[in-house]
Structure 1
Amino acid sequence: MDWQNLPSSNNVEDRRGSGGGRGGGVAIGGGAAIIIALLGWFFGIDTSSITGGSQTQSRPSQSQGSAGTQSQAQDTQFVSKILGSTEQVWGDIFQKNGRTYQAPRLVLFSGATDSACGQADSAVGPFYCPSDTKVYLDTDFFAQMQAQLGGGGDFADAYVIAHEVGHHVQNLLGISDKVDRAQRSARSEAQANKYSVALELQADCFAGVWGKRSSTQTNLTQQDVQSAINTATAIGDDALQKQSRGYVVPDSFTHGTSQQRVSWFMKGFQGGDPAQCDTFNGAI
């Protein structure tokens, strides 16, 4: 993935080293519970009920001293390029539909920081806050993905950012508000969870739309695409629950199965059309 060819964004807010919040990161250890918690951290999955690619070396992991500073700067550049590309893609889509795209800001932090949705903590994972229209991202997740999952890679990292931007698009289109109202009137937790699944799958589809529309600039290879498919497979609710519990509880799913996540990401990627990302099918 040639992310260096992408446009840069001016909407990156770097809070690292500002002294705010708690220092440090996620403790690393062995065992499936750590891997599952780490997956939740990366992709915004609530694993509290569970735990109870190519060019993977293109951006070196952070370390102490000048090497760590250089790595941090490269991560900042990468995030700026991916965010800039999402602004270009969604700006064009909105314009063609007679609307103006309002880009989100992406906050880089280390350890913890404040957000309008509460404290952003490394244990929560990358997430989008609709109250301040910002995406929050702990920069350590790039290195942790490589070290703990033995994979990742540029397109897998970009997929995560594009997924969170997808939630911003949902907010701009009023989809998030509709889902919130539907969840509050739901007759059961299982029904409310189904709305959550649909929201997350649509964000996956929107990430695929971005991937397709930016693919000419990024020169994506099949290996890049496969890394995203592998990532989507690994973070399905069924895969995580089966790994931790040995069985699955479908009513508790909040993000969708591995098959669903791959299917909707690929639907967005193959068509490049957000109109094909109706995961709700009239349910809201």
Structure 2
Amino acid sequence: MKKKHKKNDNHLEKKNNISLKVTDIEFRYRETHPNAVDGVSFEINHGEYVTIIGHNGSGKSTISKIIIGVLRPHKGKIEVFGNEMHATTLTEIRRFLGIVFQNPDNQFIGSTVRDDIAFGLENRCIAQKDMQAIIDDAAKKVGMLDYLDHEPLMLSGGQKQRVAIASTLALQPDIIIFDEATSMLDPKGRQEVKQIMVDLKNTRQKTIISITHDMDEIINADKVIVMNKGKMVKCGRPEEILYDADFLKGIHLDVPFISRVINGLREKGLNVNNTLDMGELVKDICQK
């Protein structure tokens, strides 16, 4: 049985509206190895939806582990709402953070969906009388309200991941990190999880950080951070990243589907406008 955390009322306050500030962080797994993360700095404002992309070994997953405090940088600092992360603040800073991992099976604790969502609330010492409303609200947000009495391991991959997201939402974190959360799902499950990210973005009540190699996912982001060989090589709006095909190919990243369609149409002589919206592209084609 997992040990429950003792209740701690000495919560840190939000000192500003910058949900995450990373300053010159460096990390290496072994002294003889090059830095897995090398001098990376960026800021994320509260309510933004940010994707961190890069090929395998680029350092993007290492950054997610540093953000949640699993790894400690050898240099630089992490600030969450103005509170610097270190040994004495880590536990309280984690209250601002929630994370959804790649494999939802690794996150299940309870024998039912209801029990699984309740587990984190029990660890936070939430009163029993208040739990059900929180569980229902979290399950409803991810479309799993009708599955509360189902066994998690009997669900589809996409449903399992939605339960994992509900368990995170129930704890009401201000920042949610999706660490390759769609990579093990089929197309239907992948689309369901991506839509949840978009829905959360639209409320502007959470900061969403998605670590991903799904180039179609970044279309919906407010900002894209591109990693290569441990360094942040570019940071900008999706359209600034997606239409730089030479840059993407140079760091071994795919061009998103909509960009490939536009490039293909232009090669056939049809002059269409740059867009990240497939509906806009279809409308543009029909007007030609």
Greater share of residues in helix: 1
Greater share of residues in strand: 2
Larger Rg: 2
Question: What TM-score results when the alignment is normalised by the length of structure 2?
Answer: 0.27
